[in-house]
Structure 1
């Protein structure tokens, strides 16, 4: 009786899957709406300048960050579903998740990209007054640590 209950309790993960999928969908739709609004405002104002181009690029980088975060939540939803509910899900081979380590590796890879995009956003929006070195070093250290973690995990397989 207890073993059946514990075995069926894995379906509680459906709550995390639905929450992650809802978060992913919200971020992706919000990013799409932000993109459409930004394009519309850009066309409407008709301003063409270097300063305007820099501001536009910065805003698009921030929108890309939304898409990347939405992708993280989507990968979490798929991974948890594959791990706990059913592996019979039609996803590309590179998105197949068989172990919790597979899920962690995919998430770490996306986090590294998100950190890079965040730093790029800081560089593009740099006003010349703030110190980017500390921020860049912090991002680089986190990326280096995550890369080292990935390499040691891959090397031990």
Structure 2
């Protein structure tokens, strides 16, 4: 019966997924109306639109990570017969961590893309890119280590 205590973080993470997704959709809709209302079409406004879209993708990726956590916890603690695609099958906490780390890597890549698109020549984007690359390399090493441990 104690496994049902896990319903608290499962429902909590599911709520966070829905809240993040809805918030970002609402933000995008209002942003689109604001852009139409201003009626400004220029190279700068297109670039800002592109940055806004990349930022939205970033938030959606974070929401997906939260969703994966929710269904992963449900699968691990409540019902392990839940049908899931092969890439999302979670058999233990290491599988859940690996899925989350994969999403974190994608979020970091989107973060760098956002910075590169918004780059105005005044900041050192290369140093930021190198720092993110080091984190991605470390996370990839973690994924490889977990995969080797399973085989």
Residue 27 of structure 1: CA displacement? Answer: 0.4
Deviation string, structure 1 residues 60-80 (Cα, Å, up to 9, x no partner): 111111111110110000000
Give the Cα–Cα distance (whole angstroms) in 1 for the partners of residues 82 and 30 of structure 2. Answer: 35
Unaligned residue ranges in structure 1 (runs of 5+): 1-7
The answer to whether the 8 A contact 1:31-1:64 is kept is no
Residue 40 of structure 2 is aligned to residue 50 of structure 1? no
User: Residue 16 of structure 1 aligns with which residue?
Assistant: 9
Structure with bigger gyration radius: 1
User: Residue 135 of structure 1 aligns with which residue?
Assistant: 128
Residue 86 of structure 2 is aligned to residue 93 of structure 1? yes
My pick for the range that moved more, 79-88 or 33-42, is: 33-42
User: Residue 102 of structure 1 aligns with which residue?
Assistant: 95
Superposition RMSD in Å: 1.3
Please give the TM-score of this superposition, normalised by the length of structure 2.
0.93
Residue 154 of structure 1: CA displacement? Answer: 1.3
Please give the TM-score of this superposition, normalised by the length of structure 1.
0.90
Hey, which bits of structure 1, 4+ residues long, moved more than 6 A?
Answer: none
Unaligned residue ranges in structure 2 (runs of 5+): none
User: Residue 41 of structure 1 aligns with which residue?
Assistant: 34
Deviation string, structure 1 residues 100-127 (Cα, Å, up to 9, x no partner): 1111111011000000001111111112
Query: How many residues end up aligned between the 2 structures?
Result: 150
Give the Cα–Cα distance (whole angstroms) in 1 for the partners of residues 103 and 62 of structure 2. Answer: 8
